[in-house]
Structure 1
Amino acid sequence: MVTAGFNPGHGITFMIRKANPGDIPEIIALEEKAFTDPWGEAGMRDAMNLYLSSFFVATAAGRIVGFSGGGIEDTGDVIYGHICTLAVADEYRQRGVGRELISWIEYDLRQKGASAIELEVRISNHTAITFYKKLGYQEVFVYDSYYKDGEDGLVMMRWFSS
């Protein structure tokens, strides 16, 4: 298990480590607070077991305060990473947790051959869009009615130099 501790100058200490199936109940509780259309327990178990090759949790004060999950997609021409989910507990936002989770998943996906990383975000989620832009992600295009409720999804990507 890889772990690291951080105190990013925000008055908190948290750890990042690989997620495991025993984390799913806490991940689901956080996911249900963060998203209007959570994957749920069965969806999260399937994702963790079948296609999320990179999955990390942030822990603080003995509980999970954030998570990120993604995997590799190979088009035949290019290999890129795909961040499929990211959530941070409200009281830990703006404190470096999300930035560190993204850093870990980007590193892991790059080690697996990704030359770029893609993600989707709700077109109305201006806070997340601004967050990703600060991390070097660029708006690429919009998926019409991408989410279950019909909201459009903005595709963002970050390319890495070789």
Structure 2
Amino acid sequence: MKISRASKEDIKRLFEIENSLFKDDIFALKLSSFYYHIKSSIIYKVKIGETVGYILWLKRKNFFRLYSLAILDKYQGLGLASSLIEYSLKNLEKKPLQLEVRISNKKAIMLYKKFGFKEVKILKEYYKDEDGVLMRLER
């Protein structure tokens, strides 16, 4: 396993991963979004032979916002999401981190809590079909 910052050459692969996991999601990223984020945001990729996942952090003035964390289905359960978060914590500036997650996504909520994220508030009707949870990590 190798984690590094994604580059322009990775965009098509990142989009394939996004499309395979979030195709029908209202927040799914388009190919053009990846071209934008490669320049203006921080994307770390994880490779096991080929790129199998990524984490996308949006830079805000006083914090980073985790916008997307994606691991291909057949590589889930191997600790890759944890590795991406750990790598992020070591490599991002020491600013607070924030994210939104579906209230039903208990697995993701537990993952974020493992790294010290706290539930800040419930976001009513944040997603098309359910509430979200705003989580934050002060550092």
- AA aligned to 2:47 is T
Mapped partners of 2:55, 2:85: distance in 1:
7
CA shift, 1:32, in A, is: 1.6
Mapped partners of 1:94, 1:136: distance in 2:
20
Residue aligning to 2:130? 151
- Pick from 8, 30, 36 the counterpart of residue 17 of structure 2: 30
Residue by residue over 1:49-104, the C-alpha shift from the partner in whole angstroms, topping out at 9 and shown as x without a partner, is: 23x1x21100112x111101113322xxxx22211111111222221211111112
Q: Are 1:126 and 2:109 an aligned pair?
A: no
- AA aligned to 1:127 is K
Any gaps of 5 or more consecutive residues in structure 2? none
Provide closer, same or farther for how the CA distance between residues 93 and 106 of structure 1 changes in structure 2, counting only shifts above 3 A.
same
Residue aligning to 2:82? 99
- Pick from 64, 83, 95 the counterpart of residue 81 of structure 1: 64
CA shift, 1:47, in A, is: 2.4
- AA aligned to 2:36 is D
Any gaps of 5 or more consecutive residues in structure 1? 1-13
Mapped partners of 2:16, 2:58: distance in 1:
22
Mapped partners of 1:33, 1:122: distance in 2:
19
CA shift, 1:155, in A, is: 0.8
CA contact (8 A) 1:106 1:117 kept: no
Q: Are 1:46 and 2:33 an aligned pair?
A: no
Q: TM-score, normalised by structure 1?
A: 0.76
1:104-119 paired onto structure 2 within 5 Å? 104-109=87-92, 111=93, 113-114=94-95, 116-119=96-99
DSSP 3-state at the match of 1:124: coil
Mapped partners of 2:77, 2:129: distance in 1:
29
| Higher-RCO chain (CA-CA 8 Å, sequence separation at least 6) | 2
